[in-house]
Amino acid sequence: MAKQNFELFDDRVLVKPNAAEEKTAGGIIIPDTAKEKPQKGTVVAVGKGKYAEQTGNLIPLQIKEGDTVMYGKYGGTEISIEGEDYLIMRASDILMKIS
């Protein structure tokens, strides 16, 4: 992704979804209409974090750029930047980080 001038607010995260599977484990080719939405991707950018309601302290995010993450099937908002597809979602929509 070319460097863009944008800033994610609060606990928002920009994720580049992995490509949908083209074949099953058995080698059967999956048609476009039957492909599952990917639930795994790479974090491209993160916001500064969320402010605690009671104290007002900034709580930084536990994930960072470059992390591979799993997220809910219908999580995030799909956007396109320079022809590339991304998801913007809250950090709480991310289910886990994969090492």
> Nearest Cα to 19, choosing from 47, 41, 52?
41
Residues in the chain: 99
pLDDT tens for each residue of 3-55: 567 889 999 999 999 876 666 567 666 565 555 666 899 999 999 999 988 99
pLDDT tens for each residue of 47-99: 999 998 899 999 999 999 999 999 988 889 999 988 899 999 999 999 999 98
Q: Which domains does the chain have, with CATH numbers?
A: 12-18+36-97 (2.30.33.40)
> Nearest Cα to 47, choosing from 84, 87, 10?
10
What CA–CA distance (Å, rounded) separates 61 from 54?
18
Phi, psi of 70 (to 5 degrees): -110, 140
pLDDT at 4: 62
pLDDT at 34: 53
What is this structure's pTM? Answer: 0.78
